[in-house]
Structure 1
Amino acid sequence: MMIEILDSARVVDASNACVRQTVAAAAADVLGRIANLETRLARSAAEIDAAQAVRYRVFVEEMNAQATPEAARRRRDVDDWDAICDHLLVLDTSIEGDPEEQIVGTYRLLRQEIAERAGGFYSGSEFAIGDLLARHRGKRFMELGRSCVLPEYRTKRTVELLWQGNWAYALKHGIDAMFGCASFPGVIPEEHALALSFLHHNIRAKDEWAVAARPERHRTMDLMPPEAVNPKKALSALPPLIKGYMRLGAMVGDGAVVDHAFNTTDVLIVLPISNISGRYLNYYGADASRFSSVS
């Protein structure tokens, strides 16, 4: 009888230890937290599926992107790159239920070594990034994509957490530069002449960081002469995501690309880690500690 009790106690202790280890592991992968919001990578196929549902709500239902019949049936934004990317999430932990019900924002992250094994980057279909990568063979690149946040969560706090997650992830994997497509609404670049011209004249990537839209898809961003561009009005006309990249120290490639499937006009953002302004390094922490334990 005593042996049975002792054996039962050992089982309970082992079970409790497993629970503690599981809880500790889950807490360890949280990259940032502000009040009820936290950012971390997706932990399961169910969470990736939930992130794809958020993307569908934003890209298709809100921004009128085209959806395949299967995507429309499932109400999910899905493509072949999802299987090889890491999916950064922002979750509202005050929402009761399964974690996938808490997902309110997402970013898709693709490291260079994984992209090269799988056939390339998503951005490569729009921009000629091969020469850029070749000029920096000793550097490690990461592609950022599919960024979206549900309308009711488009606040400074959510954006800060997304960048906290990106920065912590980049540090963990020794990333030297980030890049990715950022979008203007609609498929007529001329409707964004002021903002596109401002980007072209002021923060276009040059020299070793130069990169351009693929020739067959290139649409000029040089739609107004420099003297006709009012910087204040141009800044107010920029989408918030592009404005945020600029504040960090990003550059843009030469030329825009019209993406009819997503109903957008895309530019390529290029952000070397060495370009990130000291102000933001100090804010987020050189070791990404700024929001790592905020409650």
Structure 2
Amino acid sequence: MLSALTPTKHLADADLLGRIGTLETRIARNAAEVDAAQAVRYQVFVEEMHAGVASDHAARRRDVDSWDDVCDHLLVLDRAIEGDTTDQIVGTYRLLRQDVAERGAGFYSQSEFDVNTLIARHPGKRFMELGRSCVLPAYRTKRTLELLWQGNWAYALKHRIDVMFGCASFHGTDPASHALALSFLHHHLTAQGEWEAHALPELAASMNLMPLDAIDTRKALSAMPPLIKGYIRLGAKVGHEAVVDHAFGSTDVLIVLPIESISGRYLSYYGADANRFGAQES
């Protein structure tokens, strides 16, 4: 459990959400760490994936938007890297709780998807938006992804979250180039009933690009971005349409993941109290 973590010279027990080897995960403590996370995002989204950013942000080599000021920023740090904590950030996730969003400008996803209707169907549940997930190329390994999920899970438990959701992206602005993967999502994994969700009508792009009998499941899963594949394994569903984000150079789908729907084997793996990687030593 988190209270049983071995103290380190870097962190107090209460800060640490998980550890595997030299990798640790926790929430950013200050503006300098958020700035460093934005630099990691710039490397991945702009330099690698060619997303567009404002000229002043490009000059600073940072991926920044207005939600950064109200979100919590989950970090993965490699303590084997020499230097300060800001030099050790190798992955990040942006977390926005419903109560915080409602006091501010709402959720990021609301610019593309009708999440208001989805949330209104569940007045007794607490929602949390996941976004801006990225990992530096050298750290795109199972252990890094496990720590990101460990951090999300521990944070969700701490804040009594019932539902996680958010935009997840395919690279590029041509949905047809992802016809196999999008069609698989359409035929097999669209959320139904009380969890049904749709893109804003003026932005909606169909994911029904191939007939069901033309879809090879193995190839479709292989064509999925790792993040979306990870959501699927956890038990997530998706909205009924995609949205093309020309500014960011992506094709987005809405992920919907009620905590109660998370696969039992993953709850067992990470621990019902998020202790799976809590006591790992370097």
CA distance in 2, matches of 1:229, 1:98: 48
RMSD: 1.3
Q: Does 1:220 align with 2:209?
A: no
Which residue identity does 1:202 align to in structure 2?
Answer: H
User: Paired residue for 2:246?
Assistant: 260
Q: Does 1:48 align with 2:30?
A: no
Which residue identity does 1:139 align to in structure 2?
Answer: K
Q: How big is each residue's C-alpha offset from its partner over 1:211-248, in whole Å with a ceiling of 9 and x where there is no partner?
A: 00000000000011111111111111111110000000
- How many Å apart are 1:283 and its aligned residue? 0.3
User: Paired residue for 1:185?
Assistant: 171
Q: Does 1:113 align with 2:93?
A: no
Output the TM-score relative to the length of structure 2.
Answer: 0.96
Query: In the TM superposition, what are the counterparts of 1:67-82 in structure 2 within 5 Å?
Result: 67-82=53-68
CA distance in 1, matches of 2:224, 2:206: 17
Q: Does 1:141 align with 2:127?
A: yes
- How many Å apart are 1:26 and its aligned residue? 2.5
In the alignment, which of 179, 202, 216 is matched to residue 230 of structure 1? 216
CA distance in 1, matches of 2:139, 2:256: 26
- How many Å apart are 1:115 and its aligned residue? 0.2
Q: How big is each residue's C-alpha offset from its partner over 1:9-28, in whole Å with a ceiling of 9 and x where there is no partner?
A: xxxxxxxxxxxx99697332
Q: Does 1:83 align with 2:69?
A: yes
CA distance in 2, matches of 1:100, 1:236: 34
Question: What SS is found at the alignment partner of 2:63?
Answer: coil
Structure number with greater Rg is 1
Q: How big is each residue's C-alpha offset from its partner over 1:182-228, in whole Å with a ceiling of 9 and x where there is no partner?
A: 00010000111110000000010010000000000000000111111
Q: Does 1:239 align with 2:239?
A: no
Q: Does 1:103 align with 2:89?
A: yes
CA distance in 2, matches of 1:260, 1:237: 21
Which moved further from structure 2: 108-117 or 24-33?
Answer: 24-33
Output the TM-score relative to the length of structure 1.
Answer: 0.91
CA distance in 1, matches of 2:221, 2:201: 28
CA distance in 2, matches of 1:179, 1:87: 16
Q: How big is each residue's C-alpha offset from its partner over 1:251-288, in whole Å with a ceiling of 9 and x where there is no partner?
A: 00010000011110000000000000110000000000
Question: What SS is found at the alignment partner of 2:161?
Answer: coil
Which moved further from structure 2: 126-135 or 26-35?
Answer: 26-35
In the alignment, which of 273, 277, 280 is matched to residue 291 of structure 1? 277
CA distance in 2, matches of 1:243, 1:109: 20
- How many Å apart are 1:55 and its aligned residue? 0.2
User: Paired residue for 1:126?
Assistant: 112
In the alignment, which of 117, 137, 144 is matched to residue 151 of structure 1? 137
Which residue identity does 2:172 align to in structure 1?
Answer: G
Which residue identity does 1:247 align to in structure 2?
Answer: R
Higher relative CO (CA 8 A, sep ≥ 6), structure 1 or 2?
2
User: Paired residue for 1:211?
Assistant: 197
Q: Which blocks of at least 5 consecutive residues in structure 2 are unaligned?
A: 1-6
Q: How big is each residue's C-alpha offset from its partner over 1:82-118, in whole Å with a ceiling of 9 and x where there is no partner?
A: 0000000000001121100000000000000000110
Which residue identity does 1:47 align to in structure 2?
Answer: E
Question: What SS is found at the alignment partner of 2:180?
Answer: helix
CA distance in 2, matches of 1:94, 1:196: 39
Question: What SS is found at the alignment partner of 1:215?
Answer: coil
Question: What SS is found at the alignment partner of 1:40?
Answer: strand
Q: How big is each residue's C-alpha offset from its partner over 1:147-182, in whole Å with a ceiling of 9 and x where there is no partner?
A: 000000000000000000000000000000000000
- Percent identity between matched residues is 70
User: Paired residue for 2:266?
Assistant: 280
In the alignment, which of 69, 75, 78 is matched to residue 92 of structure 1? 78
